[in-house]
Structure 1
Amino acid sequence: MSFACFLVVLIVFSNDRLVHASGCYTSIISFGDSLADTGNLKGLATIADELYPCLLPPYGESFANQPTGRCSNGRLIIDFLAFEQGVNYAVAGATALSASFLEAKWTEKSVNNASLQTQLSWFQKSLPSICGNTSACRDYIGRSLFLIGEIGGNDYNYPLLVGKPIEEAESYVPLVIDTIFSTINEVIDMGAQTLVVPGNFPIGCSSSYLTTRAFLNEERDPSTGCLIQLNEFAEYHNQMLQSRLNEIRELHPNVIIMYGDYFNAAMQFYRSPPEFGFTNGVLKACCGGGGPYNYNTEARCGYEPATACDEPDTYANWDGVHLTEAAYKVIFKGLFEGTFTKPEFRSVCHASESQVNIGSSSAM
């Protein structure tokens, strides 16, 4: 908890502003893992005197021409949202479940102590420095857009990436969903009015899983090359999450809760790579240490002798686990400009913006 203040990273988003969501909300509050971490692990690792691949070149080469702490060659989904202010509590490697729970299950693993509940605690403790008194903070929270995740992927990685049966990871799903459910309810109790809650990606298309689970000879989708059972597992998580979100909507009918369909937003380019400019494919990593999918646990991106491709925008996969900026941009557009949020973000945002304009006019 001594790192709480340090980990509050104020984020100013890029000039490539595709969705001017700042016209609908005053700020964004983000929780999650490496899919949303814009630099928190970098600060934490500096304190802890540890080194992580995402903090080394060639990470960040397409954005700041240096590592920024983002686990990609460039920007993430959150970077394309047009906010001039916000606070990001996401940390690469974070889990939904507590580190103590997972370490008890996996004694040989050291789990990042930045779980979803820990991030929520950081948020609660940092509020006085952000917005002042209780009344002002409740107003600030109510005018902010909350991004709750994606979270839970790392909880499943522990058993799955070492070849354990999918059934073992499935036993974690209700616990992960309960944790997300609890966090959503807590931020709503604090005054949150608008939330985006993403589901899981089609992990069966990940270079890391295609490589590390190859010995299991699991069935692959002939149209995409992705592992069928792993994608079905991701959909199981997503279906359970959506069911619980419906429960929350019934409990809080005046709160807008959008499900972010990361799975199908990503499946667009797994099904039709050339349509989205991925002429070098979507399953093979741009940065890696060789092998059929350019993913090698002994030579991960950032460490020698791994190398990066010359044209990362023509790849969907960056390092075997994370995607390229180009892939994240496609997913962003599908979510925030397209139809892959339920209800659609663009309609919710426009309605919110209209209410703000009406309120401003009447105040005059």
Structure 2
Amino acid sequence: MRKISVVSFAWNLILFCNVISSTIGSRDLIGTIGARRNPQCPAAFFNFGTSLTDTGNLLNALPYSPDVIKFADAENPPYGNTFFRRPAKRYSDGRLIPDFFSLAFGFPLLDTYVSPTVFNFTHGVNFAIGGVGVTNQISASQYLLPLQIKQFVRFQSSALIAQSQPECLSSFDSLPPRENFQNALYTLEFGSSDLRSAVHGGVSSAVIFGDIIPTTVKKIADSVTILYQYQARNFLIFNVYPLGCSPQTLTLLLTENLSKDKLGCIASVNEVADAYNRELFLKIGDLKASLPDANIILFDFYNATTEVLQNPSKYGFDSNSTLKACCGAPGVGSYNFNPNVTCAIDGSISCQNPDMYVSWDGVHFTDSFYGTVSRFILSGQFTSPSIDYDEICNLNFTNFPSSATYEKFYGGLCNVWYA
């Protein structure tokens, strides 16, 4: 994992921008839903996570950083070509789960905490940043989960102070209303970076099972407790996907001749993920007991991913490409992953049909896969307890296909956050 310096966020430099289109502006996108909002429907999203859900914090903080692009250069094509039609500071060919949530609810796309231009925080903030984990046992990064929580606390405090001053209201009308903090859905996507780094780094099983897993799970639980103290009541927590099915892991560990499961994934690595998920499940049970008025949903990312890998054609994926990277270069094995020639680096190649692939660059997923997973979550599949937001919130999935474009749905907004 790479070291990242802390980037201050100066509130006295906050800018705001009026919508320049009366037909597709952010307030109009929201207005059609606001009139029929069910109290169970989130009024905002606050996301905490890794590169799987980072919509720009890393590359806003470290533009064109050599430490970033030595893995993959998400500031160059073909990153972002789906939906955005250009690089959009996301480690994917298109949208991530927070983007699909916003589209389904009719909100503007969730802006990042580190935002260099205009923003709309009315319906939440994304604090996720790529290249981070939960513990500092593996990562020297300062953008660990605890820091993201501190950023939220600072953000909430600043927003509430600003809105308590009548003279400031017109200048801060893009901040979340006070009630949105309690009515928001707080999403936490962590664990994969810590486990992947440990496995690839040759950390012993004893340390992984006896130290890294329990420490990571505890910090996630501690973060939920802190957020609860700051009005959060509704949580969505991701467990980790089957890491042994990642093209990166399959390539880097291929020479060790580890046994494979029936899907062709490395069984021992998936056992690590499974152990983490079991411990997270138990910890969530403890949280529910200690925070009785909190609504905590667990998304089973592991079995949702396994479902797609087992039945790819059912969800529109190519059965011959489920374990291959769409964007990359041949390495060891047949997974189109090369640690020395990763996506958007000279010598890499990209498939012509990314919507048929599960993996985008060997580590991160495709726009199409994230869209499928988002449908699972929002319709109550692979979630415990099962909450069908699609039914109770009258969601709109028509914007999910890869044929959709940013310009079509958000082109009238005065926002250049993805430049």
TM-score range, shorter chain: 0.7 to 0.9
The SS at the match of 1:95 is coil
Structure 1 residues 153 and 251, CA gap change in structure 2 (3 angstroms)? same
Q: How does 1:1-364 map to 2 (within 5 A)?
A: 3-5=7-9, 23=37, 24-46=41-63, 51-52=68-69, 53=72, 54-81=74-101, 82=105, 83-84=107-108, 85-98=123-136, 101-102=137-138, 111-132=140-161, 139-148=179-188, 150-170=189-209, 171-222=211-262, 224-279=263-318, 280-291=320-331, 292-346=334-388, 350=392
Is contact 1:5–1:122 with CA below 8 Å preserved after alignment?
no
The SS at the match of 2:42 is coil
Is contact 1:131–1:140 with CA below 8 Å preserved after alignment?
no
For the residues of structure 1 that align with 2:234 and 2:163, how far apart are their CA atoms?
A: 19
For the residues of structure 2 that align with 1:113 and 1:304, how far apart are their CA atoms?
A: 30
CA deviations on 1:167-204 (whole Å, 9 max, x unpaired) are 44323000001100100000011111110011001111
Q: Specify which structure has the bigger relative contact order, considering alpha-carbon pairs within 8 angstroms and separated by 6 or more residues.
A: 2
For the residues of structure 2 that align with 1:333 and 1:146, how far apart are their CA atoms?
A: 18
Is contact 2:57–2:128 with CA below 8 Å preserved after alignment?
yes
The SS at the match of 2:340 is coil
For the residues of structure 2 that align with 1:66 and 1:56, how far apart are their CA atoms?
A: 8
How many residues end up aligned between the 2 structures?
338
Measured after TM superposition, the shift of residue 133 of structure 1 is 6.7
The SS at the match of 2:187 is strand
CA RMSD of aligned residues (A): 3.2
CA deviations on 1:89-108 (whole Å, 9 max, x unpaired) are 0001121113xx435xxxxx
Structure 1 residues 133 and 64, CA gap change in structure 2 (3 angstroms)? closer
Return 52-61 or 325-334, whichever deviates more: 52-61
Measured after TM superposition, the shift of residue 134 of structure 1 is 9.7
Letter in 1 for 2:251: T
For the residues of structure 2 that align with 1:349 and 1:119, how far apart are their CA atoms?
A: 32
Measured after TM superposition, the shift of residue 350 of structure 1 is 3.0
For the residues of structure 2 that align with 1:218 and 1:281, how far apart are their CA atoms?
A: 21
Is contact 2:64–2:75 with CA below 8 Å preserved after alignment?
no
Runs of 4 or more consecutive aligned structure 1 residues displaced over 6 Å after TM superposition: 6-10, 133-138
For the residues of structure 2 that align with 1:9 and 1:116, how far apart are their CA atoms?
A: 27
Letter in 2 for 1:265: A
Partner of 2:21: none
Structure 1 residues 312 and 115, CA gap change in structure 2 (3 angstroms)? same
For the residues of structure 2 that align with 1:326 and 1:91, how far apart are their CA atoms?
A: 21
Partner of 2:117: none
For the residues of structure 1 that align with 2:29 and 2:274, how far apart are their CA atoms?
A: 31
TM-score (structure 2 length as normaliser): 0.74
CA deviations on 1:2-38 (whole Å, 9 max, x unpaired) are 624279999x99x999xx7994122110100011100
The SS at the match of 1:5 is coil
Return 49-58 or 332-341, whichever deviates more: 49-58
The SS at the match of 2:62 is helix
Measured after TM superposition, the shift of residue 348 of structure 1 is 10
Measured after TM superposition, the shift of residue 231 of structure 1 is 1.3
For the residues of structure 2 that align with 1:186 and 1:9, how far apart are their CA atoms?
A: 29
Letter in 2 for 1:250: A
Letter in 2 for 1:80: F
Measured after TM superposition, the shift of residue 46 of structure 1 is 2.3
For the residues of structure 2 that align with 1:347 and 1:28, how far apart are their CA atoms?
A: 14
Is contact 2:200–2:252 with CA below 8 Å preserved after alignment?
yes
Is contact 1:9–1:39 with CA below 8 Å preserved after alignment?
no
TM-score (structure 1 length as normaliser): 0.84
Greater helix proportion: 1
Unaligned runs of 5+ in 1: 104-110, 354-364
For the residues of structure 2 that align with 1:47 and 1:327, how far apart are their CA atoms?
A: 27
Identity %: 28
Is contact 2:92–2:365 with CA below 8 Å preserved after alignment?
yes
